[in-house]
Amino acid sequence: MSNCAIVGINWGDEGKGRMVDLITKDYDMVVRYQGGGNAGHTVVNEYGKFALHLLPSGIFRPGVINILGNGVAVDCESLWTEIEAVRSQGVSITPENLKISDRASLLLPWHRDLDSLEEARLADKKYGSTKQGIAPFYSDKFQKKTVMAGELLYPEQLLERLSSLREWKNLTLQKVYGAEGYTMKQLMSWIQDFGKKIQPFVCDTGAVLRKAQSEGKAILFEAQLGALRDLDYGIYPYTTSSNSIAAYAPVGSGLPTARIDEVIGVVKAYSSCVGEGPFTCELFGEEAEKLRDAGSEYGAKTGRPRRVGPIDLVATRYGVQVQGATNIALTKLDVLSYLDEIPICAHYEIHGQQTDEFPFPTLLGEAKPVMETMPGWKCDISGIHSWEALPEAARKYVEYVEQAIGCHIGYVSVGPERDAIIIR
C-alpha cells in the first residue's frame, strides 16, 4: 500500500485540485482532512469545469471512495448545494462514493453570521476572512460547542443539544454584537432543509479507512490551503483556523495510524495570496495586473482579485520543509510565457540583513524582497507534454527553483486541463 498527501506549499490556490484529479487514478480513496467550504479547488476534466469547495477532488473518478474526515468543517448547506451542482453536470454522487465522517463537526448557521460580524467589528484591522464561518466554527469545536455529523442520526438528542447551544450562542450574538438570535424553529428547519439531505452520507468513516488500510488500499489525502496558512506553522494570525500541513492528515482524516509514503507539494510558478497579511514578494500596478490577468488570479469562492508576485524562494523552501514534501508539482508555468524576464524573489532583507530563513510572523511585515531575474522563453508552452520539448529557458527556470527549494520537481503543469502536464 502506498499513501500520498497532496498539499499546498504556499498561500493556497497552487493548483492542488488539478493534481488530486490527475493522481486519483492510482488511488482507491481520497480524503479531505481539514478546512471547510472556504476555498475552491478548480478541476477541469471530461465533465467540464468545477470549483470544488467541500467535495474531495476524487469525486469524478468512478470507483474512488471520497471521504470528508473528522477534521473537516462540514457545512451542510454549502455541501448540499455543491452536491446538486456537481450532479447536474453528470457526475454521480451517492453514499457509495461520498462518505462523511460521523465525527466531523457541523458548521452551524450562526458561524457564518459571527464571521461577518467580527470582520465588520475589526473594520480596517480585519483578517480578510472568506466569511464562511470557519474561524468561529473551529473555536466552537475546540470549546466542544458544536454538533457532530453523526448526531444527525439521533434526532431527539440532537434537538436537545442544539437547544442548549442556541441559548449559549444567542448570548454572544445578541449581547456582544447586538445581532438577532436564533429560534429553535429556524434551527429545526435548517436541519430539515440541509442536515437531513446529507444524513445518508454520514457513517463511521474511521472503520471504512481502517478496513481499507488492512486490505492494502491506496489512500490519497487532500489538503485545503497551503503551508503558510497552517494555524501553527503559517503566518499567524493571517492563517486559516486548522492545520493544513501533511502531518495533520492522519489525525484529520480518521486514520490516525496512517503512514504517508509520499507528500506531493504543489507550488505555483509564481505567487498569489488572497486576503490580508504580509506578502513579501507582492507586485503592484501594471506589472501585477498583467500577471493577475495572465494567471486568471481571481478567487474561486469569492471572485476577489488575488494579490500576486513572483515565486518566493524563501517562503517556498520553508513550505517544503514544514510539509516534508518528497516531490513537487510546479503548476502554471505557461502563465509566465508572456514575460521577457522572469522575476524571482530569491532572498529577504530584514533590517538591512539578507536572509534565506523564513522569519517569525511579527518580523515578516518588515521583510523586503531581494529580487533576481532569469531570461523568459516568450512562446506558448501550453501544448508541450515532454520535458525535452520545453524551451531551454523554461527548463532552466524549473531547475533553478528545484535547486533553491531543495526538493525534486516531478510534475510541471502547463495548462489547467488534466493532460496539460509534464512528468519528469
The C-alpha cell that represents 367 in the structure block: 521583510
CA distance 331 to 267: 6
CA distance 280 to 235: 12
Burial of 155 (0-12, 13-18, 19+ CB in 10 A): middle
Q: Is 187 left (phi over 0), alpha (psi -120 to 50) or beta?
A: alpha
CB of 18 to ligand GDP, least distance (A): 4
Q: Which is nearer to ligand GDP, 271 or 331 (CB)?
A: 331
Contacts with 201 (C-beta within 8 Å, 6 or more apart), sequence order: 95, 98, 99, 100
Q: Which is nearer to ligand GDP, 48 or 237 (CB)?
A: 48
CB of 418 to ligand GDP, least distance (A): 10
CA distance 113 to 173: 9
The C-alpha cell that represents 143 in the structure block: 470549546
Annotated catalytic residue 113: no
354 residue type, one letter: Q
CB of 47 to ligand GDP, least distance (A): 14
CA nearest to 379, candidates 417, 339, 423: 339
CB of 293 to ligand GDP, least distance (A): 12
Beta-strand relationship, 270-273 and 41-45:
unpaired
Q: Is 113 left (phi over 0), alpha (psi -120 to 50) or beta?
A: alpha
CB of 272 to ligand GDP, least distance (A): 8
The one catalytic residue in 13, 102, 140, 334 is 13
Q: Which is nearer to ligand GDP, 19 or 74 (CB)?
A: 19
Q: Which is nearer to ligand GDP, 243 or 331 (CB)?
A: 331
Burial code (b: 16+ CB inside 10 Å, e: under 16) for 158-172 equals beebbeebbeebbeb
Q: Which is nearer to ligand GDP, 258 or 335 (CB)?
A: 335
The one catalytic residue in 21, 28, 41, 53 is 41
User: Which residue ranges make up the site for ligand GDP (CB under 6 A)?
Assistant: 8, 12-18, 39-42, 44, 300, 331-332, 334-335, 413-416, 420
Burial of 321 (0-12, 13-18, 19+ CB in 10 A): middle
Burial of 98 (0-12, 13-18, 19+ CB in 10 A): buried
Q: Which is nearer to ligand GDP, 130 or 146 (CB)?
A: 130
CB of 247 to ligand GDP, least distance (A): 19
Annotated catalytic residue 13: yes
Q: Which is nearer to ligand GDP, 12 or 69 (CB)?
A: 12
Angle ∠(307,312,316) on CA atoms, nearest 5:
110
CB of 299 to ligand GDP, least distance (A): 8
User: Would you say 412 and 330 are in contact if contact means Cβ atoms under 8 Å apart?
Assistant: yes
User: Which residues carry out catalysis?
Assistant: 13, 41
